[in-house]
Amino acid sequence: MAKTHVTMTVNGKAVEGLVEPRTLLIHFLREQLNLTGPHIGCDTSHCGACTVDLDGKSVKSCTLFAVQAEGGNLLTIEGMAAADGTLHALQEGFREMHGLQCGFCTPGMITRGYRLLQENPNPSEDEIRFGISGNLCRCTGYQNIVKAIQYAAAKLAGASVKEAAE
Amino acid sequence: MLADLGEDARPLAGGHSLIPMMKLRLAMPAHLVDLGAIGELKGIRTDGGDIVIAAMTTQHELIADATLAARLPIIRETALAIADPQVRYVGTLGGNVANGDPGNDMPAVMLCLGASYHVVGTRGERRIAARDFYKGIYSTALEPGEMVTAIRVPVPPAGHGAAYEKLKRKVGDYATAAAAVILTQSQGRIATCSIALTNVGETPLWAKDAATAVVGTALDPATVKKAVAAAEAITSPAADNRGPAQYRTKMAGVMMARALARAKSRAA
């Protein structure tokens, strides 16, 4: 199959590659860009482990072709921390609030949480649960994931994170 | 391009039905034509008494639109019941209505509203009433080479009550059964009513007799019972892992009764 040239911005860097028309975005990210943070979980657009941010939308990269992201601006878990290694408030929240056990769902949860907080910087618990309803966790039962996102919301708002840590 | 490639080609909207089907090898199109960059297929506009929604408008955009929230709240309520946030950012109204999957939620809403679809093909443009569009599972009135470009919805009168009630096992599931209701009332009695059902037959179902049964009444329990019986009578669900056929028929009635009550409570 003839390959197609794609260019996009991933985590602030211009990237390009040759892909088959059928190549899924998740395969392009993982196999050609070596960004293995986004995971392939269910491969049926249910679990959200492959979630990345594309042009201001949370998307499941297992259900998009790489060519559909042509010219797009992507953020993956690899782009969350600052250049000096300082964790993003969401990453810190997941660490502090024990928002992960096995960690498989975490990159998707954090990138989804990122877009959720962009759209709604002060979500209620219900809004967080609804907002992450496309991301499945099979370990922690969500309670600490919700707390981790609340922690990040508080930190990003400049508030004390103590309350979220209660 | 679609016309040149013929039946080997499929238009690609959000792809959140088509790509999973391709992974299962239930669809094997030789060519996909991505509609993503066609600006004319985006947007929501008012045209007289109608609201016209371009086919590539995503569920997320439907949810965020202030005009729809104010004048056609059933569309927002239904979009929020579809799949999950990530899927709603990408999945489109056009894909949802044109796919012909009886599990899709928007077709019944469009039947309920009396919407029509703008269709473009090699022989030009035509409009098809949603109520005439669905022929069977994945079978619609679209001819080869034709595509839905917009959805035209007549806006119900101000003060109407609307509700979409969906029973599903979990987030992201298709309905076990669901019901859409639009009604108006006058002095406590139902003046007009339209009802449609999702996923309890090979197509979405317009429940005309059930709606007729409630018009002129105050939605008393005996009337609701009659309407439920009329709705159940037109269902023919398949048994699947959502439950046996008889259960899904009963749930269609339950969803309809709930949607009627909620729509009435919302009507002026």
**Residue numbers in B near A116 (CB within 8 A):** 85
Which residue in A20, A45, A135 has the most chain B C-beta atoms within 10 A of its own C-beta, making it the best mutation to test that interface? Answer: A45
Q: Quick one: average pLDDT of A19-32?
A: 97
At B130, the pLDDT band (50, 70, 90 cuts) reads: very high
Residue A166 has pLDDT above 60, yes or no: no
CATH number of the domain where residue A109 is located: 1.10.150.120
Looking at residue A47, which CATH number applies to its domain? 3.10.20.30
Q: What is the pLDDT of residues A111-161, one digit of tens each?
A: 999 999 999 999 999 999 999 999 999 997 899 999 999 999 999 998 766
Q: Residue B76: what residue type? A: R
Q: A3 to chain B nearest CA, in Å?
A: 14
Tokens representing residue B83 in the block: 């799949």
* Token representation of residue A134: 């496309």
- Note whether B168 contacts A: Cβ–Cβ < 8 A: no
Identify whether the C-beta of residue B183 lies closer than 8 Å to the C-beta of residue B266: no
Q: Which chain B positions have a beta carbon within 8 Å of A67's beta carbon? A: 34
CB contact under 8 A, A133 and B171: yes
Q: pLDDT: is B1 or B220 the higher one?
A: B220
Question: Do residue A112 and residue B85 have CB atoms under 8 angstroms apart?
Answer: yes
Domain's final residue, options A79, A108, A137: A79
Strand B9-12 relative to strand B31-34, pairing: parallel
Cα B180 from Cα B103, distance rounded (Å) = 14
Top pLDDT among A29 and A166 is at A29
Better pLDDT: B1 or B65? B65
Looking at residue A141, its pLDDT comes to 81
Got the DSSP string for B70-111? HH-HHHHHHHHTSS-HHHHHH-BHHHHHHS--TT-SHHHHHH
Q: For residue A54, what are the domain limits?
A: 4-79
Q: Is the pLDDT of residue B51 over 60?
A: yes
CA distance, residue B265 to nearest chain A CA (Å): 24
Q: Which three-class secondary structure state does DSSP give residue B124?
A: strand
CA distance B217 to B209: 14
Tell me the residue type at B191.
Answer: A
The residue ranges of every structural domain in chain B are 38-154, 161-266
Phi, psi at B23, each rounded to 5°: -65, -35
pLDDT given at position A124: 98
Are B249 and B232 in contact, with CB atoms under 8 Å apart? yes
B16 touches chain A (CB under 8 A): yes
Please report the pLDDT score of residue A161 as a whole number: 63
Number of residues that this document lists for chain A: 166
Alpha-carbon distance of A26 to A61, in angstroms, equals 5
CA B146 to chain centre: 20
Other Cβ atoms closer than 10 A to B171: 18
The chain-wide mean pLDDT, for chain A, equals 94
| pLDDT at residue A1 in the model | 72
End residue of a domain, out of A79, A108, A133: A79
Backbone angles phi and psi of B242, in degrees to 5 = -85, -10
Asked if residue A119 belongs to a domain, the reply is yes
Query: Are B87 and A44 within 8 A, CB to CB?
Result: no
State pLDDT tens for residues B213-246.
Answer: 999 999 999 999 999 999 999 999 999 999 999 9
**Confidence band of B5 (pLDDT split at 50, 70, 90):** confident
Q: In the CATH scheme, what is the homologous superfamily, with its name and number, of domain B161-266?
A: CO dehydrogenase flavoprotein, C-terminal domain (3.30.390.50)
Please give the span between the terminal C-alpha atoms of chain A, in angstroms, as a whole number.
Answer: 56
CA-nearest residue of chain A to B81?
A130
A38 alpha carbon, distance to own chain's centre: 7
Q: Is B250 helix (H, G, I), strand (E, B) or coil?
A: helix
Last residue of a domain, one of A44, A79, A114: A79
* Interchain contact, A63 vs B20, CB within 8 Å: yes
Q: Using alpha carbons, list the distances in angstroms from residue A17 to A3, A5, A32, A70, B207.
A: 9, 6, 8, 10, 52
Complex ipTM: 0.93
Single out the residue of B165, B187, B189 nearest to residue B177, CA to CA. B165
User: Do A99 and A72 share a structural domain?
Assistant: no
Does residue B116 have a pLDDT over 70?
yes
Could you list the beta-strand ranges (E) of B155-256.
161-167, 177-186, 189-198, 205-206
Does residue A163 surpass a pLDDT of 60? no
- Chain A residues in contact with chain B using a Cβ-Cβ cutoff of 8 Å: 21, 24, 43-46, 48, 51, 57-60, 63-65, 67-68, 112, 116, 130-135
- State the average pLDDT over residues B138-142: 96
Binary contact (B16, A21; C-beta < 8 A): no
Which stretches of chain B are DSSP H helices? 2-5, 18-23, 59-64, 66-71, 73-80, 85-90, 93-98, 106-113, 130-133, 208-214, 221-234, 245-266
Which two three-digit tokens encode residue A162?
């103590």
Structure confidence at residue A162 (pLDDT):
56
Average pLDDT of span B148-164: 97
Using CA atoms, how far residue B101 sits from A47, B15, B43, in Å, is 22, 14, 24
Classify domain B38-154 by CATH architecture: 2-Layer Sandwich (3.30)
